C-alpha cells in the first residue's frame, strides 16, 4: 500500500477553533494520534478570526460560523472507533461583540451534536490569566490590529470574558466535558496566541484527558513534524476568497500513516 493511501481509521477526532488551532494544527494532530492511536479521521473547523456562529472575514478570506459549516454533515455518529473532540479559541466572538449568552448557545449546540457520537470532549477556557494583565491601551492596540472596526470597550470585554469562562466551566460539568484552564506561561506579549515554544507542553496538557488510565505518551517535538507543511496548504470544503465562492472536496489530505484530514 502506498504510504499516502487511505486506511481504515481507528478513531474520529473533531477539532474546532480559530487561529491557535490553525497555527498549531500539525502539532495537535500528532499529539492526538500519540494519545488516541492511528490512523485517524480528522474533522477540523479552524481559521484565523473564526466565529463559532456567524460568518467571519479576515483580509480577503471568509468562512462560515463553525455551527454552520459542513463538518456536522460529515460527522459519523456510529464511527468504527471512539470519537474525541476539542473546542478551543472561544474568544473571537467576544471581540466581535457577540453576547456571551449567544456564544454559549453555539457551544452547547456543538456539545449536543458531539454527544450523539459519544465524544470525549475537551474545552479550553479563555486565556484569562494573560488578559487580566493587559493595560487598557494594550487591549485597544490589539483590538485595532486583530479586530478592526470593532468597538467593544475594554472593561466590557474583560467582564464578558470572565462570564464566558465561568459559563464554560459550568457547562462542562453539566455535559460531562473536560474544562482546561489556560496557563499564564503559555502566553507572551501576544495575549491570545500560545507561544510556539510552549505549544508542545500546552497541547499535551490540553489533550491529556483523552489518555487511557495509566497511559504514558511523550511530547511531540518539532523533528516529528516533517510532514507539517502539507497541512498548511490544504483547503477547506468552502471559503470565500476575494468575493469568489471556493469549494474543495474532502478529505483534503491523507497523512503518511493513512489518516485523513477534512477541513471546513
Q: Model confidence over 79-94: pLDDT tens digits? A: 889 999 999 999 999 9
Nearest Cα neighbor of 76 from 13, 128, 168, 7 is 13
pLDDT for the residue numbered 80: 83
pLDDT for the residue numbered 146: 87
Interacting residues of 181 by C-beta distance below 8 A, sequence separation 6+? 125
Residue 191 backbone phi and psi in degrees, to 5? -85, -5
C-alpha neighbours within 13 Å on the C-beta side of residue 158: 16
Is residue 158 a part of any domain in this protein? yes
| pLDDT reading at 225 higher than 70 | no
| pLDDT reading at 170 higher than 50 | yes
Which domain does 80 fall in, by range? 11-263
**3-state SS, one letter per residue, for 2-56:** CCCCCCCCCEEEEEECCHHHHHCHHHHHHHHHHHHCCCEEEEEECCCCCCCCCCE
Domains in the chain, number: 1
| pLDDT reading at 237 higher than 60 | yes
Confidence of residue 149 (pLDDT cuts 50, 70, 90): confident
The pTM of the full predicted model, rounded to 2 decimals, is 0.93
CATH code for position 195? 3.40.50.1110
Confidence of residue 5 (pLDDT cuts 50, 70, 90): very low
Is residue 3 a part of any domain in this protein? no
Is residue 86 a part of any domain in this protein? yes
Is residue 200 a part of any domain in this protein? yes
Nearest Cα neighbor of 123 from 65, 168, 68 is 168
Q: Mean per-residue pLDDT for 51-75?
A: 96
Is residue 192 a part of any domain in this protein? yes
Euclidean distance between CA atoms 87 and 200, whole angstroms? 18
Is residue 1 a part of any domain in this protein? no
Euclidean distance between CA atoms 7 and 170, whole angstroms? 39
Is residue 2 a part of any domain in this protein? no
pLDDT for the residue numbered 7: 72
- Beta-bridge partners for 41: 12, 260
Is residue 6 a part of any domain in this protein? no
Euclidean distance between CA atoms 263 and 70, whole angstroms? 9
Amino acid at each position: 500500500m502506498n504510504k499516502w493511501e487511505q486506511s481504515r481509521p481507528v478513531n474520529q477526532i473533531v477539532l474546532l477553533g480559530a487561529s491557535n488551532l490553525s497555527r498549531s494544527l500539525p502539532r495537535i494532530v500528532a499529539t492526538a494520534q500519540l494519545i488516541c492511536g492511528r490512523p485517524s479521521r480528522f474533522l477540523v473547523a479552524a481559521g484565523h478570526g473564526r466565529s463559532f456562529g456567524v460568518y467571519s472575514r479576515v483580509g480577503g478570506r471568509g468562512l462560515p460560523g463553525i455551527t454552520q459549516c459542513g463538518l456536522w454533515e460529515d460527522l459519523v455518529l456510529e464511527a468504527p472507533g471512539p470519537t474525541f473532540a476539542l473546542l478551543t479559541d472561544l474568544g473571537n466572538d467576544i471581540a466581535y461583540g457577540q453576547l456571551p449568552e449567544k456564544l454559549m448557545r453555539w457551544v452547547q449546540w456543538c456539545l449536543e451534536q458531539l454527544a450523539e457520537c459519544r465524544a470525549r470532549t475537551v474545552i479550553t477556557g479563555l486565556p484569562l490569566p494573560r488578559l487580566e494583565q493587559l493595560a487598557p491601551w494594550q487591549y485597544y492596540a490589539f483590538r485595532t490590529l486583530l479586530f478592526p472596526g470593532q468597538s467593544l470597550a475594554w472593561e466590557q470585554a474583560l467582564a464578558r470574558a470572565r462570564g464566558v469562562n465561568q459559563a464554560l466551566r459550568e457547562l462542562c460539568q453539566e455535559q460531562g466535558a473536560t474544562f482546561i484552564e489556560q496557563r499564564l506561561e503559555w502566553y507572551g506579549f501576544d495575549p491570545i496566541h500560545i507561544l510556539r515554544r510552549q505549544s508542545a507542553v500546552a497541547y499535551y496538557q490540553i489533550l491529556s484527558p483523552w489518555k487511557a488510565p495509566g497511559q504514558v505518551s511523550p511530547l511531540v517535538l518539532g523533528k516529528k513534524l516533517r510532514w507539517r507543511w502539507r497541512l498548511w496548504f490544504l483547503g477547506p470544503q468552502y471559503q470565500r476568497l476575494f468575493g469568489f465562492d471556493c469549494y474543495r472536496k474532502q478529505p483534503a489530505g491523507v497523512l503518511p500513516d493513512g489518516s485523513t484530514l477534512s477541513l471546513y
